[in-house]
Amino acid sequence: MPAPERAAAGWAVAGFVAFVGLWALASGWIARPQVFPGPLSVAATAWERRLDLVDAAGRSGLRVGVGWVGASALAVPLGWAAGAVPPLDDELRRFTGLVRSIPPFAWLPLLLLWVGIGDTTSVLVCALGAFFPVLEGARTGSSQAPPALLHAARNLGASPARVLLAVRIPAALPGTFTGLRTGATFAWMSLVAAELVGADGGLGQLILDARNLARPDLAIAGMLCIGAIAWSVSGVLHQLERGARRWGVA
């Protein structure tokens, strides 16, 4: 590990230790474990209910994964095309300006009415959450491909299709990864909200059930799970993004 990354990892561990310490102090001071359990009792619950947590995380992860991948499969090519063709971009903005301003969660009542409670609704909410950030990242990356490189490629005899594949898309990768990462975060946030309203299992359901059963320890375990998953996915995508940046336009 290079020195800056070692330092960053050190700070992350220190932050985590400080967080757990403060949490333990606060819960000890409040001294009402049935309302605000400490880290130890949450850890014990998490271990005891590990199968439920893994099952819930699996269901949630699958919904987010399908929604995010589906949305990205549509948004990435569309964003690349829009970034390459300004009139298409203007048209797309006119067309989506209103829709993109609606939070994905606001679609839920309508989706529940049309599709009902179930995986499809959750997947659609995730897809809605992911779509516009991914579109925006891909579009920005593609529209900011350096004109000098596009000119050089055409000058060397590349066809428009080849300019797109060999120059515009490589140049768009860093921006695209930023969009994918933001999209994943949005999808995950939208999902938990959707599951809180109604779904068959999943981490959102798990923390809602925990509240109904008056089990704050389980709710906190579920919340930590949500945070940990989102954090690691974002971390992985961040590494990919940095790789693309190093490799791509400096």
Partner 1 sequence: MIRVRGVSRTFVEARTSARVPALDGFELEVSRGEFLAILGPSGCGKSTLLRLLAGFDRADAGLVEVDGAPVTAISPRRLLVSQDPALFPWLTAAENIGFGLRAQGRADPARVEALLVEFGLAGAGGRYPRELSGGMRQRVALARALAVRPDVLLLDEPFGALDALSRESMQALLEATWLASGATVVLVTHSVDEALRLADRVVVVSPRPARVVGSVVVESARPRRAGSHPELRERLMGWAVP
Classified as helix, coil or strand, 1 is: coil
User: Which residue in the set 6, 50, 93, 151 belongs to the binding site for partner 1 (CB under 8 A)?
Assistant: 151
User: Which residue in the set 69, 81, 115, 166 belongs to the binding site for partner 1 (CB under 8 A)?
Assistant: 166
Q: Is 250 in the site for partner 1 (CB under 8 A)?
A: yes
Q: Is 148 in the site for partner 1 (CB under 8 A)?
A: yes
CA atoms of 38 and 14, how far apart (whole Å): 19
Q: Is 242 in the site for partner 1 (CB under 8 A)?
A: no
Give the dihedral of Cα atoms 232, 244, 136, 131; nearest 10 deg.
-40
Number of shown-chain residues binding partner 1 (CB under 8 A): 20
CA atoms of 44 and 154, how far apart (whole Å): 63
Cβ of residue 76: shortest distance to partner 1, in angstroms?
18
Complex with partner 1: residue 4 or 157, whichever CB lies closer:
157
CA atoms of 164 and 156, how far apart (whole Å): 14
Cβ of residue 163: shortest distance to partner 1, in angstroms?
9
Cβ neighbors of 197 (< 8 A, separation 6 or more) are 108, 112
Angle at 187 between CA 181 and CA 192, to 5 degrees: 135
User: Which residue in the set 20, 43, 158, 193 belongs to the binding site for partner 1 (CB under 8 A)?
Assistant: 158
Choices 120-128, 164-172, 179-187, 189-197; region in contact with partner 1 by CB under 8 A: 164-172
Q: Is 231 in the site for partner 1 (CB under 8 A)?
A: no
CA-nearest of 174, 63, 78 to 129 is 63
Q: Which residues bind partner 1 (CB under 8 A)?
A: 146, 148-149, 151-159, 162, 166-167, 170, 247-250
